[in-house]
Structure 1
Amino acid sequence: MFKEQIGKQSNKVKNAVERGAVKKFAEAIGDLHPIYFDEETGRNSRYQANIAPPTFPRTFDYGTIEGLNLPNKGLIHGGQTFHYERPLRVGEDILCYTKVKNYFEKKGNFGEMGFLVIENYGEDESGALIFSSTSTVVISEAVRKVLAR
């Protein structure tokens, strides 16, 4: 069902690491470290700027992969990992895109499940990689049956 999507990627989308959004995100996750929002702390840090929490890229727009039509309901977040070359600096623009890495199926207690592995990337404006993340979307048998119609 999704095997033909493996290797496809979206166009790059510009996202801002905006100060207010970083502060709200840090508050929402309960991590009030001053490196995220206190300007003096940021200036005096080894990064010489405020940085975003490691999971902040969850808020970014990664574009759309043509033909990858996932439903809005019934999917299970199977986990996500992040890898950083350097932290995201408040005030910078990031070019983000997504790629389908893999799709496989397994039989489990709840029937045949699909596993869609997605990779997200964030680059600076010169094209240097800042971060990547890998996430797995679990597609239940019920959702797979609806999509097969």
Structure 2
Amino acid sequence: MYKDMVGRKSDKVKNVVERGLVRRFAESIGDQHPIYLDEETGEKSRYGRNIAPPTFPRVFDYGTVEGLDLPKKGLIHGEQNYHYTRPLLVGEEIYCHIEVEDYYEKSGGNGRMGFLVMKRYGEDAQGNVVFTEEMITIITEAVRKAMNV
């Protein structure tokens, strides 16, 4: 189904770790730790400024993998893991892209399911990887039938 997409990636997209967005994100996840919200705490921290919560990269734009057309509904969020070399700093620019890592299928009690493995990357302005995010999206038999595949 998506085997031919493996190895394809999007172009890099510039994102900014904006203070207001970090605040709204932290409030929305119920984690109002001062390191995310209070400027004085950020300045006194070992980072010299505020940082973003670990799952903050969910709000970034990663661009589009040309030809990867996923259905708008019916997908299952299977797994998601973040790996950091350092925290995201409020105010910095992060360049993001996504790559299709793998696609495989398994049969189960609900029919044949597809597993789309993608990896997202966030790099600083010097091209150093700050984080990676690995995620698996499950495409159920019902969704596959609706897509006529």
Q: TM-score, normalised by structure 2?
A: 0.98
**1:140 matched residue in structure 2:** 140
Distance in 2, matches of 1:75 and 1:123, equals 28
Cα distance in 2 for residues equivalent to 1:136 and 1:109: 19
- Partner residue in 2 for 1:17: 17
CA distance in 1, matches of 2:45, 2:125: 23
Equivalent runs, 1:69-108 vs 2, <5 Å: 69-108=69-108
Distance in 2, matches of 1:101 and 1:61, equals: 18
What is the identity percentage for the equivalent residue pairs of Structure 1 and Structure 2?
60
1:23-102 superposed matches below 5 A: 23-102=23-102
Structure-2 separation of matches of 1:78 and 1:106: 14
Question: Counterpart of 1:25 in 2: which secondary structure?
Answer: helix
> What do you get for the CA RMSD once the two structures are aligned?
0.8
Distance in structure 2 (CA, Å) of the matches to 1:84 and 1:54: 9
Secondary structure at 1:48's aligned position in 2? coil
Task: Tell me by how many angstroms 1:37 deviates.
Answer: 1.2
Structure 2: unaligned runs, 5 residues or longer: none
1:127 corresponds to? 127
SS in 1 for 2:69: coil
- What is the rounded CA distance, in whole Å, between the counterparts of 1:81 and 1:32 in structure 2? 22
Matched position secondary structure for 1:11: coil
TM-score normalised over the length of structure 1: 0.98
Shift of 1:145: 1.8
